[in-house]
Each structure stands twice: as C-alpha cells, then as structure tokens.
Chains A and B, each alone.
Chain A
C-alpha cells in the first residue's frame, strides 16, 4: 500500500520568512496530493491540492510543487505569519478509483515567531 513520508517534523521560522515542507510517496499510481492545516482541537482544513497532471500550483502565499518522477511533492509558504502556526499534513490518494482514502504523512509542526 501507499506510504507517505514527511519532513521536517518541526519547523520554526521568523515572521516573514519562507517555510518549506517536503513529502515523498511510494505508490507511483497515486495521482492526487492535498495539503491540510490542522490547528489544535480542530479538524484538518484543506489549504491546497495538486493533481498528477500538474507540476506546480499557487494560491496567494501558498504553493505546491510535484515531481512525479522522484515521487515527491512540497509545500511552500512565503511571508509567513504567526497565524500560519499549526500542524501541516501532506497526503496522497488514488483519484477516480472509488478507493480514494487519504494516506497522510506524519505531520509538520510549524511555529512562526513574531
């Protein structure tokens, strides 16, 4: 089955800096890669996603890149703000198969200091 690895487990940055979180996946058939932000006591919130037919996607301060050959994808947050502090999870799934369970990475705790 699919296995997703995520690094780093914790990341501390100063406000205004950029943050990069990296994930690798094992199943080359996976074709959908969402990123979720989880604040304490809340459910995961989808912040951006990318499909395997796209190499990069951007939404304001957040961008995701995908390298299908190397089977890795990354989340980039620019101009970080204290409210970006949370746990971020990457995930992978098989789209359009009826078996679209998400396999999550182990999470990255991002701390943005003012």
Chain B
C-alpha cells in the first residue's frame, strides 16, 4: 500500500539559511500534520492542514510557515535556521479531518551547522 512520502530524506544547512521540506500524503488523504522530533525526544506537533486550510497550530516558530496545495501535498518552509532546528521532521496524513488515525512518513532529518 502507498505510504506517506517525504523529501528530501536528509538535509544539511548552514545557520541563517532557508529549508523547504515536502510531504506527499497517502492518496485520497486530505489532512496533513507536521511534527518535529528532537534527538531522544517524542514528536511535537507543529501544524496541520485540512482541505488546503490550516486547521490547528502547535509550537511552531514564527520563522516557520507551511501550506497545503491543491493536490494535497504540503510544504514546510523554515527560514533563518538555528542550530536548535536540527531534528527529524515528520509528516502524517489522515483520510479526513474526522478520522483519528494518523499515518507517518519516514521523516526528513535536518541538520543545521
């Protein structure tokens, strides 16, 4: 079965640079969630989208922004990168907003030097 696709899988950036992470949900899933997982920590919710509209927001820095496109893929844009942004970034998708089950992608490992 098709799973959530994330790209790139690994990304290395310098401080103050910009990064864009992409998420392609499972086909026919219209709800996307972004999570950040620091080393040895649990995933922390950043932001979610339903039908191309932001539906909920967590502890996402103002330097980060995200959107969902007409084909339901989502992009997380991160500017003025800091060392502390180094983490695994996961995208999860659900069939719709009323469905509780979230399926996670393999993640993007961002390293900020």
- A residues contacting B by CB (< 8 A) are 32, 34, 36, 42-46, 49, 51, 89, 93, 95-96, 98-107
**How many pairs of A and B residues are in contact by the CB < 8 Å rule?**
63
Query: What is the total number of residues of chain B having a CB less than 8 Å from a CB of chain A?
Result: 26
- Which stretch in B11-19, B61-69, B70-78, B95-103 binds the other chain? B95-103
B43 x A102 contact (CB < 8 A): yes
Bound-state Cα–Cα, A93 to B42, Å: 15
CB neighbours (8 Å) of B43 from chain A are 44, 89, 102, 104
Q: Most chain-A Cβ atoms within 10 A of its Cβ — which of B48, B50, B97, B104?
A: B104
Q: Which applies to chain A's interface (DSSP): helix, strand, loop or mixed?
A: loop
- B residues contacting A by CB (< 8 A) are 4, 33, 35, 41-45, 48, 50, 55-56, 58, 90, 92, 94, 97-98, 100-107
Bound-state Cα–Cα, A32 to B61, Å: 27
B97 x A46 contact (CB < 8 A): no
Bound-state Cα–Cα, A43 to B88, Å: 9
A106 x B42 contact (CB < 8 A): yes
